[in-house]
Amino acid sequence: MNYSLKLISLIIVFFCCVNVYAQTGYGFRFGGNLSDYTVNIPDSIQTSPAKKLGWQTGVFYNISSGGLFSVQPEVNFSQRGIRFDGAEDISVTRNFNYLEFNVVGKTTFGGENAKVYLNLGPGIAYLMSAQDRSDISETTKVDFEAENIRRWDTSIHLGLGTAFRLGFENALFIEGRYTLSISDLNDIDTNSQPDGYKPVNHRVLGLTIGYIYYIDGFEMQ
């Protein structure tokens, strides 16, 4: 928790210290993702974990000095989770709703009408809510305290995208991104973990489409 608050403080300081003359752009994205996470299931339980489909959306603010490199703070909503397929074709889907705060470094290459970019950076996320949905029962709310689930998550984001010019200041983009949590979803003391325990880390593969408005022009970014 303290580590997450420090990251939030750094993001706030970053915004306050941005040079007002820096070339900037802002926009939004929307898309879907496939997610799962590390599981610790005893062999006696007959169930198979699988990826689940979710959706994500967000806004961002791109700050560039006019060269290849820029910094992009983001605020995103992302559905993560997993699906468990059991006996008799019965499945249970656990859905987590996260609010993400990311700061990624972005390197852009290309010409006047199309560009390719890479991004990499850290993020923190707050777990707002979670639900279990079964084929044979109603949707139920997950009790974080009863299941020792951690509300704050830290992660690394790695993305690849391409942007297409619409005009002097506008562009559409398509981006694929992989997100890997580095925080254990389970808030369990080390001494209480069973033998062979593996940290539970979210893994998310997303694909989004979005719009960006470049204040200083598409060719400048």
Q: Are strands 47-50 and 52-64 parallel, antiparallel or unpaired?
A: unpaired
pLDDT in tens, 13-51: 554 554 444 458 899 999 999 999 988 766 545 567 889
> Is the CB of residue 75 less than 8 Å from the CB of residue 59?
yes
Q: Grade residue 134 by pLDDT with cuts at 50, 70 and 90.
A: confident
Tell me the whole-structure pTM to 2 decimals.
0.83
User: Which domains occur in the chain, in start order?
Assistant: 2-220 (2.40.160.20)
| DSSP-assigned letter for residue 20 | T
Q: Ranked by mean pLDDT, which of 36-40, 58-62, 66-70 comes out on top?
A: 58-62
- At residue 220, the pLDDT reads 44
Q: What is the pLDDT of residue 10?
A: 56
What pLDDT score does 47 carry? 64
Residue 119 identity (one-letter amino acid): N
- Closest to 71 measured CA to CA, from 25, 12, 5: 25
136: Cα separation from own chain's centroid: 30
Sign of CA dihedral 208, 213, 217, 221: negative
pLDDT at 208: 98
Which residues 6+ apart lie within 8 Å of 18 measured at CB? Answer: 63
CA distances from 60 to 27, 169, 199 (A): 6, 16, 30
pLDDT in tens, 76-120: 999 999 998 876 677 889 999 999 999 999 998 887 789 899 999
